[in-house]
Amino acid sequence: MNAKIKVIFFFLLGLNILGACNTNIYKQGEWLYNTNCANCHMEDGTGLGTNIPPLAGADYLEVHRNQLACLIRYGVQDTIVVNGQIYHQAMAGHANLTETEITNILNYIHQAWGNALAPISLVEVKEQLKNCQ
């Protein structure tokens, strides 16, 4: 009986360890992106024609890196230019997202769809949010 309990215990322990191993470190960011952003920017980050800018291959992500957290939190009312295309469509903010969630979304976007941008830290996001204008 004792041997059976030990076998079951170690089997369940092994399953637990395997379940905790996730090769996609951006999984939460991907889920948050799909929940909050994909309706407009599309699941593949291509945007929506001349209405919604793409995030895949977007020069805006690197050029305006220091404003991205503010854009997610408070939205955009101004005209923006992405890859030479002018976009006039306003973007609603996501005031409900935490600093950590914004960080996870940005890090997902920075590595998704062929993007290869440097990761953004939680400290960087907090600093950006303190300085939103």
| pTM higher than 0.85 | no
CATH class of 25-130: mainly alpha
**Closest by CA position to 72, among listed 43, 44, 40:** 40
Q: Where do the structural domains in the chain lie, given as residue ranges?
A: 25-130
Q: pLDDT tens across 107-133, in order? A: 999 999 999 999 999 999 999 999 997
List the structure tokens of 27: 């999984």
Is residue 53 within 8 Å of residue 87, measured between CB atoms? yes
Q: pLDDT tens across 49-71, in order? A: 999 999 999 999 999 999 999 99
Question: What is the separation of C-alpha 38 from the centre of its chain, rounded to a whole number of angstroms?
Answer: 10
List the structure tokens of 118: 């440097």
